[in-house]
A and B are shown apart, each in its own frame.
Chain A
Amino acid sequence: MTSPIEDVAASQAHADEQAEETRKPTRFAGLQRWWNGLARPQQWLVLGLVAVLLYALPLLNPPLLTTPGYDFPIVLCDMARFALVALGLNVVVGQAGLLDLGYIGFFAVGSYVAALWTSTDSTMVKIPYLATLPLAMIVTGFVGVVLGLPTLRLRGDYLAIVTLGFGEIIRLLATIIPALKGNTGFQNIGSPPGAWNGKPVFTITNGTPWFWLFLTVIIVVTLLLGNLERSRVGRAWIAIREDEDAAEVMGVPTFKFKLWAFTIGAAIGGLSGALFAGQIGFVNNQKFDVATSMLFIAAVVMGGAGNKFGAMIGGAIVAYLPYRFGFIADKKYLIFGVVLVMLMIFRPQGLFGARNHLLAYGRSIKRQAARLRRDARGDAALKEGA
């Protein structure tokens, strides 16, 4: 006879599988089952290998993947940028279920922070480029709080329209506020220090070091977000997404956690903006089209609700396709708009329907099962003795 808790170990392992089944299994289902079956160290090993492969990508320049007509490392930077953005937006849209349509606005704020404090065209105090990364996160996080405070108490629709407006307004402000230099913009934006053979490592023409920087940032952010996901914070977000009123009644301070999600998302958007500014070395008001926000949303939605790896892959794909297949470049908004609508109508769970793991020690259930079983046996023995 098995104890209930022992069955749990099996049913926990089998939960994702089940989720798959109810969500029309995809070709990714097998991959996922395999992944969930691996032990933790094995997973780390696989992740390590994937990371090494990713770091090697700009050097390998694999023939099928490469982008004729475009510098591959630079394309990789763009993909990484979209992946990072999708990662941040996924917290807001995918996990907390808040529709943030102005993500490009936060991205723009981050870029301008880097520009204003490092560019030779700016009259502001200069600080080292790397210092603008945390600064950009702080400033955009603050903007997120300012936008979130009035709107997050209201129904989700209001947040959507306010953020949509915000995305456009930031671009407008960049145009009409003299200090932001409109179309002229800022050149000579700073970059991280370091030289190789007497030449600086980080230049606007060489994408490889920038890609490595992006990748490192993505890995760090992923790990940190993973910590949040498997904590009361991540659980609160998913609970809010699933049923906000019920979450509140179960003791979740929903407003607080929504604000956190929105702010964290904004900060990551700002971070990617600052990285972007450094990588291309030039910021003006033409780079932050609101329509790009729609691409970001499409990336997250393709990835599937709340699945951070899916979101990153979605982001990379959205960035990559127009480079690889040049003929779709000018139609990309239309194409991804159609993709977005079709996904929502026919497959709202995204392409990779994975679910979030929300317990830091979910895997310890197996061990627990054994222990509880021992306890139970002990109790029974005691009882018999009595």
Chain B
Amino acid sequence: MASHDNDIPGDEAPEQHERTYSTGHLSLDKSGEDASGTPADGIPTDSPEAPPDLDSEAAQIVHQDRDIAVAVGDNLVEIRDLTVQFGGLTALDAVTFDIRRGEILGLIGPNGAGKTTCFNAMTGVYKPTSGTVTLEGKPLRGMKKHAITRAGFARTFQNIRLFGEMTALENVVVGLDARHQTSVLGALVRSPRHIREEKTSIEHGMALLEFVGIADKAGELARNLPYGYQRRLEIARALATEPKLLCLDEPAAGFNPAEKEELMALIRTIRDDGYTVLLIEHDMKLVMGVCDRIVVLEFGKKIADDVPKAIRENPAVIAAYLGVEEEDADGAA
């Protein structure tokens, strides 16, 4: 694998895309290798396809990338005074925070705090009442949803929204199409570009599915996939759009602790591959473990924004979560 491992996807260089996905180092997850399709326990096996030891691998990959972009930690996304109102209800109230390049930023808060609304406002699903979202200094206001996606935001949905009548692979290829150039006419006459794109998209799509660990069911209809596969497929489909920022809305909802742990490892690998991640998750323990920084919302307002250690001791956060057992918060998702 060694020869491929240094190809780190850069946010800024789409042409690296091809190499990224076709390399073997993405095969973090073991469940994909498992013929039975059940998520493995995370212990590397001796088989040729077995993934290398995670930590050393990730560290190795990250190292170089951090040198370029992550170490700088400049602001990838700036959210300023973002407000969303539904009639009389202010779901998001002048929320301001930054997302730094290469980090995993956690977005937490009790049910109904406005986390999903924040995603929706960022990705153009809701029009913010006021406030701005800028990506690398460019304001996104007024852009169409699909344009925002191409500008670099990708997301998953809290309630899974896959294209049910498409196979897993086709779902991912829809995401890849966001970067494709073929016109209707080009497709009609099978232009060379169309053929090129179609060929590479199979390769990339499969690599992505392998990466999230569901390649064994690539040819199955999305709506027939097991729940865990669907959640992972959402991530693969979002990754396929080559985002600068990957927004995950409770990607581990409904998972058991082992599955959650595994998913968090996957998210870490995604970050290590050079993506910036914004993560909504109710399970405090997990969030604390995986995030570099955490933003806490309550009733639409930001009440804290700090590293996990400080969040844990923040009285406002403790108050917000007081009486809300983790299990409750989790189950309600």
Contacts and interface: CB of A to CB of B under 8 A. Distances in A.
Interface stretch (B10-18, B99-107, B183-191, B315-323): B183-191
B237 interface: yes
Contact of A247 (B157, B174, B188, B206): B174
Interface string A1-21: 111110111111111001100
Which residue of B2, B49, B125, B220 has the most chain A CB atoms within 10 A of its CB atom?
A: B49
Interface in B33-90: 33, 35, 47-49, 52
Contacts of B310: none
Interface residues of B, number: 67
Contacts of A13: 219
A13 to B, nearest CB: 7
B224 A5 contact: no
A230 B197 CA distance: 12
Contacts of A238: 163, 165-166, 170
A250 B149 contact: yes
B276 interface: no
Contacts of A242: 163-166
Contacts of A224: 188
Nearest to A22: B224
Given A235-B166, A247-B163, A252-B146, A360 B24 contact: no
Given A250-B178, A358-B166, A361-B198, A228 B188 contact: yes
Contacts of A14: 219-220
A239 B163 contact: yes
A245 interface: yes
A27 B218 CA distance: 27
A18 B220 contact: yes
Interface stretch (A132-140, A166-174, A335-343, A378-386): A378-386
A2 B215 CA distance: 12
A279 interface: no
A359 B188 contact: no
Interface string A336-371: 000000000000000000011011111011001000
A19 B221 CA distance: 7
B187 A231 contact: yes
B144 interface: yes
A135 to B, nearest CB: 19
A1 B49 contact: yes
A227 interface: yes
5 contacts: A10-B219, A238-B166, A243-B163, A359-B170, A365-B219
Contacts of B231: none
Nearest to A233: B187
A50 interface: no
Contact of A372 (B1, B190, B195, B206): B206
A9 B146 CA distance: 32
Contacts of A150: none
Given A238-B165, A251-B179, 12 more contacts: A1-B47, A1-B48, A8-B169, A10-B219, A11-B217, A18-B224, A230-B198, A232-B173, A238-B170, A251-B241, A359-B202, A365-B169
Interface string B182-225: 10100111100011011101110010011000011111110010
Contact of A368 (B157, B194, B203): B203
Interface string B151-180: 000110100011111110110011101111
A251 B150 contact: yes
Interface in B97-155: 123-125, 144-146, 149-150, 154-155
B116 to A, nearest CB: 13
Interface of B: 1-4, 24, 32-33, 35, 47-49, 52, 123-125, 144-146, 149-150, 154-155, 157, 161-167, 169-170, 173-175, 177-180, 182, 184, 187-190, 194-195, 197-199, 201-203, 206, 209-210, 215-221, 224, 237-238, 241
A231 B194 contact: yes
Which residue of B154, B182, B202, B224 has the most chain A CB atoms within 10 A of its CB atom?
A: B202
A8 to B, nearest CB: 4
Nearest to B157: A246
Given A18-B220, A246-B157, A375-B24, A12 B167 contact: yes
Which residue of A243, A248, A251 has the most chain B CB atoms within 10 A of its CB atom?
A: A251
A365 B174 contact: no
Given A227-B189, A238-B166, A4 B221 contact: no
Nearest to A356: B165
A359 B166 CA distance: 10
A104 interface: no
Given A232-B187, A245-B125, A362 B202 contact: yes
A249 interface: yes
A379 B26 CA distance: 13
Enumerate the 6 nearest inter-chain pairs by beta-carbon distance, A residue then B residue, closest first.
A251-B178, A12-B219, A231-B187, A4-B215, A380-B48, A360-B198
A376 interface: yes
A285 interface: no
A377 interface: yes
B32 A4 contact: yes
A110 B293 CA distance: 62
Nearest to A363: B202
A68 interface: no
Contacts of A253: 144, 146
Nearest to A382: B2
Nearest to B25: A379
Contacts of A260: 184
A229 B158 CA distance: 30
A368 B166 CA distance: 20
Given A227-B189, A239-B174, A382 B1 contact: yes
